[in-house]
Structure formats: C-alpha cells, structure tokens
C-alpha cells in the first residue's frame, strides 16, 4: 500500500501543479483584461483547492507510514544532521501544509470578494504564493534539499 500511495502522491502532484498554474493564468488574464468571474473561473478556483486537499490527505497518510519519517522521529538529533531526512521529516510537510493553508485562504477569500476584479486579484496573489511554496517543497530532481524522480512507477 505504501508504494502505491507514494506513486499516487507523485502522480497527483502534476494535477495540483496543472490546476494551480492554470488557475493563476485565468486569474492573471481575468484581472488584467477586466473579465467577468465566470462559473468556469469559480470551478477552477474550487477544483484547484480540492485537488490540493486530496494531495494533502495522501501526503499525511504517507507521512504517518514513511520509514524515513519514522526514523527521523526515532533519532531526531542525528537525523537533523542529514538534509534528506530533515527534508522529509520536517521541511516538506511544513512547507506543504503552509502552501495548502495559503491556497485554502486564497480560495475562500476569492469566493467572498464582491467584485470580479477583486476575485481575480485575490486568486492571483494567494495562489501564486502557494505555487512558490509548493515549488520549493517538491523534491525535484534538481532540488538542493532532496532529489526524487519526477515520475514514480506503480
């Protein structure tokens, strides 16, 4: 089950990134061109947050089952000396939780804004901040914090 969830977590990250980038794009265009905040814009706002929350749930299950994380918390003092262990034991989960909170707040605020321009601006700002944090927290193949494959197989 652990390896399947790990592969699923790796796959769903691409959906999170795709939804987030596209939502930011729509917000940017909508804000700059004074467009109406349509049902499609609202749907992308909603589904971006939903896909991110699904990814968070998978991540939390993985976090509680991960042998790397279990080792980190068993021997924290020596594990803190290893950047890879520290990344998965603390940094990754802290940054991802932060990003999801930012994304959720941005989604909720955008939903409640009275004007279309304010909705687009709120989405643009909050979703962009979340994307930056997520980008830092993903263990890309080029990341100085921890490196993992871009695609894991099932």
Nearest to 89 by CA among 102, 76, 104: 76
Residue 149 included in any domain: no
pTM of structure: 0.90
Model pLDDT, residue 86: 92
Residue 115 included in any domain: yes
d(CA 132, CA 141): 17
Residue 148 included in any domain: no
Model pLDDT, residue 149: 67
Q: Is residue 154 scored above 60 in pLDDT?
A: no
Residue 142 included in any domain: no
Residue 22 included in any domain: yes
Residue 146 included in any domain: no
Model pLDDT, residue 139: 86
Nearest to 139 by CA among 100, 94, 101, 84: 84
DSSP state of 91: I
Residue 144 included in any domain: no
For residue 146, name the pLDDT band (cuts at 50, 70, 90): confident
Model pLDDT, residue 73: 93
Residue 152 included in any domain: no
Name the residue with higher pLDDT: 20 or 150.
20
Q: How do residues 100-130 score in pLDDT, each as one tens digit? A: 999 999 999 999 999 999 999 999 999 999 9
CB 96 within 8 A of CB 62: no
Q: Is residue 151 scored above 80 in pLDDT?
A: no
Model pLDDT, residue 39: 96
Domain coverage including residue 52: 2-137
Backbone angles phi, psi at 81, to 5 degrees: -80, -15
Looking at the structure of the chain, the number of domains it has is 1
Cα-based distances in Å from 12 to 28, 38, 53: 24, 26, 11
Q: How do residues 1-57 score in pLDDT, each as one tens digit? A: 888 899 899 999 999 999 999 999 999 999 999 999 999 999 999 999 999 999 999
For residue 145, name the pLDDT band (cuts at 50, 70, 90): confident
């Amino acid at each position: 089950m652990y390896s399947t969830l790990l592969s699923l977590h790796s796959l769903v990250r691409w959906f999170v990134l795709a939804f987030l980038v596209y939502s930011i794009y729509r917000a940017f265009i909508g804000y700059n061109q004074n467009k109406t905040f349509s049902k499609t814009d609202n749907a992308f706002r909603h589904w971006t947050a939903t896909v991110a929350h699904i990814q968070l749930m998978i991540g939390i299950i993985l976090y509680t089952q991960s042998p790397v994380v279990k080792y980190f918390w068993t021997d924290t003092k020596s594990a803190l000396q290893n950047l890879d262990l520290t990344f998965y034991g603390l940094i990754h989960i802290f940054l991802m939780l932060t990003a999801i909170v930012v994304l959720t707040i941005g989604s909720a605020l955008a939903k409640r804004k009275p004007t279309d321009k304010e909705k687009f601006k709120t989405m643009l700002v909050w979703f962009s901040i979340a994307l930056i944090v997520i980008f830092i927290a993903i263990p890309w193949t080029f990341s100085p914090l921890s490196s993992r494959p871009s695609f894991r197989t099932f």
